[in-house]
Copies of this chain bind each other. A is one copy, B any other.
């Protein structure tokens, strides 16, 4: 698997665009994105578990249930969430406009929205956005699409990889946005993945579910699960490689590439988390099961006191141990061990013999790892999280999501 330039337009047979339609109030920034496949593609999606599913989430879930799609339209600046029947009508109307422009049925058009909750979509501007995106579609438009879906993100997020399979070479590309309401299940975000591999919608959905559980469900910025979380994957078969079948090496290799791309995007969301100054990997091992390890890792990753200690660059292991201890997973305190990078701070449940300065030096790095061992069990898990900084408070006390 090799990294290649670009994002959603790196695979064959995709065009994209990002334009400004005035949806972000008082801004001239790009706020509409369109990703279109030249031909009908398989589609799969993963969505928020929030009771308040935004209108576009409900719409996309329907499209994905059909298994076939040819485009995804995304607006930032307005989430079209908590907008009732009107919101559902607006999502459908948007799909109709895009479908008419591309000559495809509306139910082959995914629609995503991200931004302020509870405000009706400004449909005159959306219509303008759809038209301008249709006109601007190009095989090099991925970067503009990545820019158009940003909200509080400080950098656009796109990546692409090439995988040499036994049958030939395929590519996968992605764009994603964060940067707040990022909770482990799943992260608050929109991510669109394209691939020129050929794969049926059922197998694609299975691979996407597995990839999301190892990536977007393992990150945390602020532990708020949004109303609009959406991950979409389109597979259009334009690489001219025969269809990937479950049980083959090519299928597994493609799945690993999809997971790796999702992890890459997930880590980018954390690195650009609201106010983040640190990227911290939390590794837990020795639990009874991977699920138990995941719950302990999540507890540390989401703890306000751990996150402020990361910001303070303070190897305050008492907080990390404490957060592990209230995860709701039984373990023997005497078996507990903890490292910051290679410096062991805790052994047998109490302070190890270590140099405070060495531990503090590790935490002054912009990226570091906290490793925890809770016993001799086979369970292990990794989470990625950011710190809790003054800027997080400033951004969220002022910005209306």
| Residues of chain A having any CB pair with chain B under 8 Å | 48-53, 79, 81-84, 87, 116-119, 180-181, 183, 222-227, 303-305, 308-309, 311-312, 314, 316-319, 321-327, 329-331, 333-334, 336, 346, 348-351, 388-390, 392-394, 396-398, 400-401
Contacts and interface: CB of A to CB of B under 8 A. Distances in A.
B400 A79 contact: no
CB-CB nearest 8 A-B residue pairs: A117-B318, A312-B397, A308-B396, A225-B326, A52-B325, A51-B325, A50-B325, A222-B304
Given A118-B350, A321-B118, A389-B393, A224 B326 contact: yes
A222 to B, nearest CB: 4
A307 to B, nearest CB: 9
Identify which of A84, A223, A346, A393 gathers the most chain B CB atoms within 10 Å of its CB.
A393
B312 A398 contact: yes
Contacts of A394: 390
B305 A224 contact: yes
A309 B52 contact: no
A388 B49 CA distance: 25
Nearest to A221: B304
Given A224-B303, A396-B309, A322 B83 contact: no
A396 B225 CA distance: 24
B311 A393 contact: yes
9 contacts: A81-B322, A82-B321, A117-B318, A117-B322, A224-B322, A226-B322, A227-B318, A227-B322, A392-B393
A326 B181 CA distance: 11
